[in-house]
Amino acid sequence: MNFLALRMLIGDRAKYLGLIFSIAFASFLISQQASIFIGLMSRTTSQVQDVVDADIWVMDKQTQYADEVRAFSDNELFRVRDVPGIQWAVRLFKGMATTRSEDGKFRQVILMGVDDATLVGAPRTMLAGQLTDLRRPDAIVIDRAGYEFFFPHEPFRLGRTMEMNDHRAVIVGMCEASPPFATFPVVFTRYSQAVNYIGQERDQLSFVLAKPAAGVSVQEACARIEQFTDLKAMSGREFGSQTIGYYLKNTGIPVNFGITIAVALIVGSVVAGQTFYIFTLENLKQFGALKAIGVTNYRLVGMILLQALVVAAVGYAIGMGLSATFFEVTLHRTATRGIIMLWPTMVATGCIIFAIVILASLLSIRKVLVLEPAIVFRS
């Protein structure tokens, strides 16, 4: 009976291919758009992800997300250090600077100023140069994407000079940084140098990075910092989640991606359901003949579900193949680097697709269950 069900399914090539196409299209759109959405949301926390030395981020109480920084006094650093249970605390600067290369090409860059003494907050994946070279005068480390923008199709060379806000900057290394949301180049330097690049203001300190002492949990240390200072403290994961929440609540990104995914669901459901229903109607005589020779309703339902699962599996496989090809092609491009298809996205897409096909087959199942075997003898 299973073989007969498959022969009936494949027999009408036009409808079979139509079912496969609709499921493949829905699978591709759902997985591709969901992956891009997750990748974009992850990018909003790129600078937070790159700091692996510190467990605690300390910031102004009104800070809502990582890209909106209100500087506070350096005196707050010493207050954080005096909090019981804090092992160490260091400065971190985050801002924007206009940078120009030797040939006049300029662009805004994300400037990260790490602690002068410990270099906490500096990138850990160096592609060229040494991290300790940041201690040299006017030294900066630029991320790979930024270097390729300023010096396209040129091999990396140490010692190149750039101009940052009318100050000299010397490239001493190239790193691999997490891609930021706005795809700006990321530049690392010492805190004192970053302040010099940006210009003197009354308050310059963007964040304080801290680590709890042995035996003190991150949550307890954060509570103590907020108790003894007028600042907000949270773990890197909590700060990242808060940043993602801000973008979800205050931008049109989730709405736009949600509409696309909803369109994919509607197309998959309507096209697959309608095509499958028409396919069943055109095969009612065959189902009636099977009923007439004693095939039970349970067996007929099994045949329809088998047809639905085969269509879902083939369409899903093609859709995942198209989606994987898309991300393989775009993986190393500057605008889309780092955006990949995660396995939870594949699993979730598979569950959605199989649910769509099963629901689409319900109308067909009902039509077969109420079918009279005598239909076989009608003209």
> Cα separations (Å) of 76 from 112, 185, 233, 315?
19, 29, 12, 58
Q: Does 236 map to a domain?
A: no
3-state secondary structure of 126: strand
Dihedral of alpha carbons 188, 190, 192, 193, sign:
negative
288-345 residue pLDDT tens: 777 777 777 778 788 888 888 888 899 899 999 999 999 988 887 777 777 888 899 9
Which of 214, 229, 244 corresponds to the end of one domain? Answer: 229
Domain count, the chain: 2
Q: What is the pTM of this model?
A: 0.81
∠ CA 300-305-308, rounded to 5°:
130
pLDDT of 377 > 60? The answer is no
- CB within 8 Å of 61: residues ≥ 6 apart: 230, 231, 232
Q: Does 347 map to a domain?
A: yes
Q: Does 7 map to a domain?
A: yes
Q: In this structure, are 84 and 165 located in the same domain?
A: yes
Q: Does 54 map to a domain?
A: no
Average pLDDT in the chain: 86
Q: In this structure, are 89 and 167 located in the same domain?
A: yes
Q: In this structure, are 72 and 12 located in the same domain?
A: no
Q: In this structure, are 192 and 68 located in the same domain?
A: yes
Q: Does 206 map to a domain?
A: yes
Residue 345 belongs to domain spanning: 2-43+252-377
**pLDDT recorded at residue 353:** 85
Q: In this structure, are 21 and 123 located in the same domain?
A: no
User: Is the separation of the CB atoms in 177 and 109 below 8 Å?
Assistant: no
Q: Does 292 map to a domain?
A: yes
**pLDDT recorded at residue 202:** 67
Distance CA 363, CA 50 (A): 52
Average pLDDT over residues 12-24: 81
Nearest to 157 by CA among 144, 145, 171: 171
Q: In this structure, are 217 and 123 located in the same domain?
A: yes
Q: In this structure, are 123 and 196 located in the same domain?
A: yes
Distance CA 79, CA 367 (A): 74
224-273 residue pLDDT tens: 999 999 899 999 999 999 999 999 998 888 888 888 888 877 877 777 77
Neighbours of 235 (CB within 10 A): 18
Query: How distant is the alpha carbon of residue 177 from its chain centre?
Result: 15
Neighbours of 160 (CB within 10 A): 18
Confidence of residue 172 (pLDDT cuts 50, 70, 90): very high
Q: In this structure, are 299 and 365 located in the same domain?
A: yes
72-115 residue pLDDT tens: 888 899 999 999 999 999 999 999 998 998 888 888 999 999 99
Q: In this structure, are 85 and 217 located in the same domain?
A: yes
pLDDT of 201 > 70? The answer is no
**pLDDT recorded at residue 257:** 87
- CB within 8 Å of 173: residues ≥ 6 apart: 126, 127, 128, 129, 130, 131, 133, 134, 141, 142, 158
Q: Does 8 map to a domain?
A: yes
Q: In this structure, are 203 and 68 located in the same domain?
A: yes
DSSP string, 24-88: HHHHHHHHHHHHHHHHHHHHTTHHHHH--S-SEEEEETT--STT----B-THHHHHHHTSTTEEE
Q: In this structure, are 78 and 191 located in the same domain?
A: yes
136-165 residue pLDDT tens: 999 999 999 899 999 988 888 889 999 998
- The length of the chain, given as a count of residues: 379
Q: Does 239 map to a domain?
A: no
**pLDDT recorded at residue 85:** 93
- CB within 8 Å of 48: residues ≥ 6 apart: 57, 66, 236, 239, 240, 243
Q: In this structure, are 70 and 38 located in the same domain?
A: no
